[in-house]
Each structure stands twice: as C-alpha cells, then as structure tokens.
C-alpha cells in the first residue's frame, strides 16, 4: 500500500531509462545547482542570521540526522520503531562518557558511540525478524523504556541527576592540540558537515545493493526472500544503520544541550521522532529533512511559549482562563503536533514530500 503510493508518486516524475540514471546522485543540472546553492547558504548562514538562533539550528540539524536514519528503517525497510530514543540516549551517553572517563578524542568517541548504538540496533533487529506490526512496536518500545531505566539506575551513567558534558573539544587535548567549541555558531560548523555527509550518505545508500534490498523487504518480505535477499542480514543491518545514525545524532545532541538526564530520552521523544518521519514523508530522504525541520521548529520555537505568541497569545490566555486552566496552556503545542500528525496521515500519507511532488507535477504540466 505504502509502496504503491510511493511508486505512483515517483513514477510520474522519475521515469528511469537506464541504470546510470538510477544511481546518479543529482538527477539533473537544476537539482545540482539548487543543492549547491542551498549548501552554500547553509555554510554562510552565520553571516546572515543572529547568533541566538543557532541553538535552534543545531537541534534541527541533530534531528535531521536522526530522522534520516529513522527513515531508513521505517520508510525504506518498513519496520516500526518506537524505541529510537533509546539509541539516541546510547549515543549521547556513550559520547559523553567515553570523553569523560576514557579520555577519547571527540571524533573517536562519537564514532564509537554510534557503533555501540549500531550494535544494539543489530541485537534489536534479531527479534524483529519474526515480529510484525504491533508486536514489533511493543518490542522496540520495551527496548527504549529499558534503556532509559537502566541509565537512570546505574551510577556510572550519572543516575537520575543526569550528566554535565565537558566543554566540547574536537582537537586532541592530550596531545596538546586543543580546539574548544564554546559557542553555538562554532558547534553549528561542527554539526553541519556531519549532517551533510550523513544525509548524502543515506541518499547514496538507497541506490546501492543494500538500499534496494531494504526497499524489497518493505514491499514484500516473502518476495524479497525468494529473490535472494537474506532477511536476517538485511533486517539486522537496517536496524544497525538506523541506530548508527541515531547514535551519532545523540552524541551531537548531548554536546548541543550540555546537560541531560535519562528523562530527556522518554517515550514521547520516540513518538516525536516518528512524527518527523511521517510528517516529512516516508521513504524519502528529502522528506525526512523537511519533517525534522518543521517539527523541531514547531516544538522548540513557535509553540514553546504559546501565551507570548503575537495576536493569538492573549486570546488563548483569556480563553483558557474561562474554560481551561492557564497553567495548562503550554500543552497546546502537543495538541497542535498531534493534530498535524493525524491530519497528515489521513489526508497526505506521503507527507510534505508528497505535497512537494504534487506541486512539482502541477507546475511541470501546467496549464494542463
């Protein structure tokens, strides 16, 4: 069903005539030009935008990495995960603890944490072999809760009090090459290249044997197995790749926040990750990027202080005073998010990517 919808969305736009057309990274000069423009814009953003926005930008980039990774699992392989906050937590705690206790340089710690998360993903991928739909949902959900609980109860992880991340130093502090990133803009220049590499990596991955195997599993796992796709290996790998992305994102997230505790990585976080992927559009890297950006912006910026919103704020406060409670007004953001996700699933199952495709189609064939 999903696959039909996606292929029908694609079939009009992406008529592939040969193999090389299928594997190329940019499907034309226009796409190449706009991608490059966008990249240049991203790298020169600190010249254009005030510094205080960069905390938000960093979180958006982290969520973009995570959503792209989750999309590999959910959108391309067709598996459900309600426990991605667990992998995210492994990445955050892994990076911070490896730097603090094992004196790893930052990049080594980040990669190691990503690999640890990938290993856990592989382990969770094993039961996923036989589990479908709701059963897989509860298994991954249990995993996420278990991780949160283990972290909260083990003193090594700082327990319920959380941990304070040391100043972010991407050099080799022990060899005397210290390079401390102390402002949000500097951290932005650390996260941006990583995010760009990982997003392009995900896009490329889907054009390889591995990516095609994932898509085959999503469309029909029995048929995929008959065609020679080893389900054990590829489902496990899909979980591992997705968890690796989540781990890297988690490690960076920890650096952006500076301080975190186990409750940062709760069940609602897992849901909001899923929402990003679904709102953006399943089975599309661009969609994941769009979804992560929109949802993060709504959560962290627009709907954070509802009462202080222009025009609407005062009205809402008066309304809440009469019928609801003013203290509970902050819940409006979760109400808005939930309505967005329900509406998207009902009216636009392909998410923002689907809207984009339809717009493109409309202008290409205009005036017909």
Q: Is the CB of residue 28 less than 8 Å from the CB of residue 265?
A: no
Based on CB atoms, which residue is closest to other proteins, 138 or 210?
138
Q: Does 329 bind other proteins (CB under 8 A)?
A: yes
Question: Smallest distance from the beta carbon of 305 to other proteins, in angstroms?
Answer: 15
Which candidate, 98, 120, 101, 118, places its Cα nearest to that of 109? 98
Question: Smallest distance from the beta carbon of 61 to other proteins, in angstroms?
Answer: 24
Question: Smallest distance from the beta carbon of 109 to other proteins, in angstroms?
Answer: 27
Based on CB atoms, which residue is closest to other proteins, 105 or 142?
142
Which candidate, 52, 48, 92, 86, places its Cα nearest to that of 70? 86
Q: Does 47 bind other proteins (CB under 8 A)?
A: no
Within 146-165, the residues that bind other proteins by CB under 8 A are 146, 149-150, 153
Site string for other proteins, 119-148 (x = CB under 8 A): -------xx--xxxxxx-xxx-xxx-xx--
Segment interacting with other proteins, rule: CB under 8 A, options 34-42, 178-186, 207-215, 318-326: 318-326
Q: Is the CB of residue 148 less than 8 Å from the CB of residue 86?
A: yes
Place of tokens 């195997």: 213
**Token pair recorded at residue 7:** 């292929």
108: buried, middle or exposed (CB in 10 Å: 19+, 13-18, 0-12)?
A: middle
Cis peptide before 360 (omega within 30 of 0): no
Which residues, at least 6 apart from 242, have a Cβ–Cβ distance to it below 8 Å? Answer: 69, 70, 72, 73, 81, 84, 87, 121
Q: Which of 15, 48, 175, 327 binds other proteins (CB under 8 A)?
A: 327
Q: Does 352 bind other proteins (CB under 8 A)?
A: no
Using only C-alpha atoms, the chain has a radius of gyration, in whole angstroms, of 21
Question: Smallest distance from the beta carbon of 140 to other proteins, in angstroms?
Answer: 9
Q: Which of 61, 109, 199, 274 binds other proteins (CB under 8 A)?
A: 274
Which candidate, 310, 254, 258, 249, places its Cα nearest to that of 276? 249
Q: Which stretches of the chain bind other proteins, using CB under 8 A?
A: 1-2, 74, 78, 80, 126-127, 130-135, 137-139, 141-143, 145-146, 149-150, 153, 222-223, 267-268, 271, 274-275, 278, 282, 320, 323-325, 327-329, 331-332, 334-335, 337-339, 341-342, 345-347, 349
């Amino acid at each position: 069903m999903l696959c039909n919808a996606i292929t029908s969305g694609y079939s009009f736009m992406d008529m592939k005539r040969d193999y090389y057309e299928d594997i190329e990274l940019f499907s034309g000069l226009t796409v190449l030009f706009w991608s490059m423009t966008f990249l240049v814009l991203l790298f020169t953003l600190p010249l254009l935008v005030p510094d205080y926005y960069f905390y938000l930008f960093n979180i958006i980039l982290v969520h973009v990495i995570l959503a792209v990774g989750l999309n590999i699992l959910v959108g391309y392989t067709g598996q459900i995960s309600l426990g991605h906050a667990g992998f995210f937590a492994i990445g955050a705690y892994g990076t911070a603890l490896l730097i603090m206790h094992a004196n790893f340089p930052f990049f080594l710690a980040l990669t190691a944490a990503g690999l640890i998360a990938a290993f856990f993903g592989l382990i969770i991928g094993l039961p996923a072999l036989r589990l479908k739909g709701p059963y897989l949902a509860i298994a991954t959900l249990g995993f996420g809760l278990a991780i949160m609980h283990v972290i909260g109860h083990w003193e090594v992880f700082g327990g319920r009090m959380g941990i304070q991340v040391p100043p972010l130093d991407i050099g080799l502090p022990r060899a005397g090459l210290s390079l401390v990133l102390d402002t949000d803009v500097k951290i932005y220049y650390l996260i941006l290249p990583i995010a760009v590499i990982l997003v392009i990596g995900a896009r490329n991955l889907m054009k390889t044997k591995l990516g095609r195997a994932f898509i085959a599993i999503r469309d029909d796992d029995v048929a995929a197995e008959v065609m020679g796709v080893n389900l054990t290996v590829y489902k496990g790998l899909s979980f591992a790749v997705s968890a690796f992305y989540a781990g890297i994102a988690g490690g960076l997230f920890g650096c952006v926040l500076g301080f975190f505790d186990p409750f940062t990585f709760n069940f609602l976080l897992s849901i909001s990750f899923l929402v990003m992927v679904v709102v953006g559009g399943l089975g599309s890297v661009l969609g994941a990027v769009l979804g992560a950006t929109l949802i993060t912006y709504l959560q962290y910026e627009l709907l954070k202080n509802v009462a202080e919103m222009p025009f609407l704020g005062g009205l809402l406060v008066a309304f809440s005073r009469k019928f609801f409670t003013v203290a509970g007004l902050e819940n409006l953001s979760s109400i808005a998010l939930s309505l967005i996700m329900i509406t998207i699933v009902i009216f636009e199952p392909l998410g923002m990517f689907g809207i984009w495709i339809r717009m493109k189609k409309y202008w290409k064939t205009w005036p017909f």
